[in-house]
Amino acid sequence: MSEAKPDGGWPAAATGRPGDPPPGVPAPPGWTGRVLQVLATSTGGVGAHVVDLTRGLVAAGADVTVCGPAATEQRFAFTGAGARFVSVEISAGSQPSDARAVGALRRTVAAVRPDLLHAHGLRAGLVAALARGGSRSRTARPALVVTLHNAVLSRGVRGGASRLVERIVARSADVLLGASSDLVARAGAVGAADARLAPVAAPVLPPARRTRAAVRAELRVGPDTPLVLSVGRLHPQKGYDVLVAAAARWRDQHPTPQVVIAGNGPSYLDLTARISASRAPVTLLGHRDDVSDLLQAADLAVVSSVWEARQLFAQEALRAGVPLVASAVGGLPGLVGDAAVLVPPGDVAALDRAARRMLDDPARLARYARRGRTQAATWPSSAEMLAQVQAVYAELSPAAGAGPDRAPAAER
């Protein structure tokens, strides 16, 4: 178990209203071209990032169309952020429908005639690369930017296929942006000509709507019972089996800490079985829209993932001043600095010890709560993220916004 040290990177943001550029950071260049944002199935951080980016681009004068599964529009309301939305069913994994997705995106590219495509994630990057390959002439086709949010973790045949996709996407992108330094290094290793670090800003949560007592009453957690919270998709990557196993060891504590996990996904049945078999004090809450309320009620946050870049819930917890125990993987050490306790991934005993030590020491909890808020102030704001992306767009499409043919696609 260790306390992480920051690895440098993005400069500290100034205090002020969320999203305000800090002193010395130039205002966004106001790129006003035409862009297609492309994403696959998403229920969490990627979709939230695309909404945040879309809102900023539209405010600066850009013409934005978002292409993705219909469920993402229902979940994130990109049209509410000022974009047009075109349904393109891109799954998170390889599916027979991928060919249809390429065709649908190719038709959208032909209709919208964007200056560039910006794909988010490996699967969206592949579909965008293939769709772009059949659009216009090679010299006139739109530029391609791909932001990678996740690493290839699969093994066996599926892992081999994913690594092939990884190479295709890396070599097809004009600029590849990685949410963490290890993603950038990996992209370069598999052939990306231009790979850059581009930390993804976490949208600021709205204020809690209910009191701590009201939320804990809903969860049937007493006022003196420690409440441990994790939020994320129920997927093997999140390592929730490790959190359940650690929580099962807490039954001898008085009062027994209660764990709640908000999210849904393919691991639901497996986790339900593990919780039942081990009699772990864990409740699966399903999808929740009240993360601010849950954080207000929590005493400790846990991220037990086997890999993360800039994990959304880790950022939400530290911003809210909730002490955090997290896996020392991917971009998490650089993200949290010394504001969280890091443990080896997959180590039940280490997670157990770290959580007990935090919950048994109110002064330690208070110290990490203060550290969390301090660390959160160093992260890039949405305005800084927007400025960086706009600069990449301007570099790839310097003429965007000029000339008589820049009328919005809907007017042509």
**Which residues, 6+ apart, have CB-to-CB distance to 350 below 8 Å?**
1, 343, 344
44-91 confidence digits (pLDDT tens): 789 989 999 999 999 999 999 999 999 999 999 999 999 999 999 998
85-113 confidence digits (pLDDT tens): 999 999 876 665 688 999 999 999 999 99
- Indicate whether 194 pLDDT > 70: yes
**Predicted pLDDT of residue 153:** 73
**Predicted pLDDT of residue 137:** 53
Which CATH superfamily, name and number, covers 212-376? Glycogen Phosphorylase B; (3.40.50.2000)
**Predicted pLDDT of residue 15:** 28
Q: d(Cα 319, Cα 301) in Å, to the nearest integer? A: 12
C-alpha distances out from residue 174 to 2, 90, 147, 278, 301, Å? 38, 21, 11, 50, 38
pTM above 0.95, yes or no: no
Structure-token match 């992480």, residue found: 4
Fold of 8-201+380-411: Rossmann fold (3.40.50)
Q: d(Cα 253, Cα 317) in Å, to the nearest integer? A: 24
Nearest to 123 by CA among 89, 165, 61: 165
334-390 confidence digits (pLDDT tens): 999 999 999 999 999 999 999 999 999 999 999 999 999 999 999 989 999 999 999
159-185 confidence digits (pLDDT tens): 778 889 999 999 999 999 999 999 999
The residue extents of the domains of the chain are: 8-201+380-411, 212-376
**Predicted pLDDT of residue 7:** 35
Instruction: Give residue 279's identity as a one-letter amino acid code.
Output: R
**Predicted pLDDT of residue 163:** 87
- Indicate whether 411 pLDDT > 60: no
Side by side, the strands of the sheet bearing 63-68 are 84-87, 63-68, 34-39, 116-120, 143-148, 175-178, 195-197
Within this chain, domains 8-201+380-411 and 212-376 share the same CATH topology: yes
Would you place residue 199 in the very low, low, confident or very high pLDDT band (cuts 50, 70, 90)? confident
Structure tokens at 278: 């081990």
**Predicted pLDDT of residue 152:** 79
Q: d(Cα 306, Cα 241) in Å, to the nearest integer? A: 11
Would you place residue 142 in the very low, low, confident or very high pLDDT band (cuts 50, 70, 90)? very high
Beta bridge partners of 2: 342
112-121 confidence digits (pLDDT tens): 999 999 999 9
Mean pLDDT of the chain, nearest integer: 87
Beta bridge partners of 176: 146, 195
286-313 confidence digits (pLDDT tens): 999 999 999 999 999 999 999 998 888 9
C-alpha distances out from residue 270 to 65, 134, 249, Å? 38, 42, 19
**Predicted pLDDT of residue 96:** 59
Would you place residue 200 in the very low, low, confident or very high pLDDT band (cuts 50, 70, 90)? confident
